[in-house]
Amino acid sequence: MNYRTTLTAAILSCSSTSAMAQFSTNLIANPSFEHITQVIPGGLISVEDLGGSYTIDEWDTGDSEIVMNLYDGQYLVTTPTPPGGGQYYLQGGFTPESMCFQTIDLTFAQGQIETGKAQYSFGAFLGSFKFINPDRDPQQEDIATITLHFTDELGTFLGSNSIIGPNLPSEVGAPEEEGNFFGFFHIEGVVPEGATTAGITIELNRDPMPHGPNDFNNAGIDMVRLILYPSPCIVDLTGDALLDFFDISAFLQAFNSQDPLADFTHDGLFSFFDISAFLQAFAAGCP
């Protein structure tokens, strides 16, 4: 069994699912990792200001060690805290590779999936780390990857799509200096025909250079989102194959509540540019 097959099997065995699956909403449960449960004894999750060990609600971490750090805590990031990011972001801890998983039931969307109409938008606030040491070449560079997998009712793998975090601070507008730097990344696509389950895999990887026992895996992630649309036309927010006042109303409601559905520029922010992008797409109409 190769690595990817093993990973898929692990995703299928995860019991965490999104509770209220529907179109045009974020299907990820606990997308910003703010909901945690203390475990005494045991647990592999440590939280910067709370002490003890925890599990992350709705996520399966397997045997991975995970650390949750505060945005305004000891390990500051060089990019601003995103709207909706909460207090914490996830990092790899003191292991070279940390992972966590979540599965989502897509049976609510079977009609659109079977006709090839279901579109997805997938993204996350991904963080990398750069450490500058004149005595070391290459420098330490930790990076996060998030992957979306689709399987059918028999567990057959139907396809995947991955997003890799930034390689350089300049990619996300951060200064070219050592430290943690984050940016929002996203991809879009069509849900494969026959898909009944989506699996989300987060991989936080420390660079492969030799490390001591106290070297930290700084790869980070926050604000995971997976949104399904009932139509390839993403401005048809009501999914009724019409573009009308109700779609505009749905957008404005999402925008006012800072719902990821209204982030039409896919930058993790909610601004005039999202309104402008939506109105342009609405005016252009659907094929």
CA geometry: angle 181, 32, 178, nearest 5 deg = 10
- The answer to whether 212 and 140 have CB atoms below 8 angstroms apart is no
pLDDT tens digits along 162-206: 999 988 888 888 777 767 888 899 999 999 999 999 999 999 998
Ramachandran assignment for 84, one of left (phi > 0), alpha (psi -120 to 50 degrees), beta (any other): left
- Work out whether strand 66-70 and strand 45-47 pair parallel, antiparallel, or are unpaired: parallel
Percent of the chain's residues with pLDDT above 90: 33
* Structural tokens at position 113: 């999936």
**Does the reported pTM lie above 0.85?**
no
The helix/strand/coil state of 140 is strand
Q: What is the pLDDT of residue 71?
A: 77
| Residue 261 clears pLDDT 70, i.e. is over it | yes
- Report the half-sphere exposure of 6 (CA within 13 A, side-chain side): 5
Q: Which residue has the tokens 């209220």?
A: 20
Q: What angle in degrees, to the nearest 10, is found between the helix axes of 272-284 and 245-256?
A: 160
| Residue 10 clears pLDDT 50, i.e. is over it | no
CA geometry: angle 268, 47, 173, nearest 5 deg = 30
The model's confidence at residue 209, banded by pLDDT at 50, 70 and 90, is low
Amino acid at 202: I
Q: Which residue has the tokens 């930290």?
A: 216
The string of DSSP letters for 109-136 reads: GHHHHHTT--EEEEEEEEEEEEE--TT-
| Residue 16 clears pLDDT 60, i.e. is over it | no
Across 60-118, where does the E strand assignment appear?
Answer: 66-70, 88-93, 97-105
Q: What is the pLDDT of residue 9?
A: 25
Which value, in Å, is the radius of gyration of the alpha carbons in the chain? 19
Q: With the CA atoms of 268, 270, 271 and 277 taken in that order, what torsion angle do they form, in degrees rounded to the nearest 10?
A: 80
* Structural tokens at position 218: 């700084």
- Widest CA span in the chain: 62
Domain boundaries, the chain: 3-232, 233-287
pLDDT tens digits along 17-71: 444 568 888 999 999 998 988 876 555 567 766 666 788 899 998 878 888 887 7
Instruction: Pick the most confident of 123-137, 144-158, 163-177.
Output: 144-158
The domain made up of 3-232 has a fold known as Jelly Rolls (2.60.120)
CA 45, 47, 51, 54 torsion-angle sign? negative
d(CA 135, CA 139): 9
- The answer to whether 83 and 265 have CB atoms below 8 angstroms apart is no
**Element at 279 (helix H, strand E):** helix 272-284
Mean pLDDT, the chain, rounded, equals 80
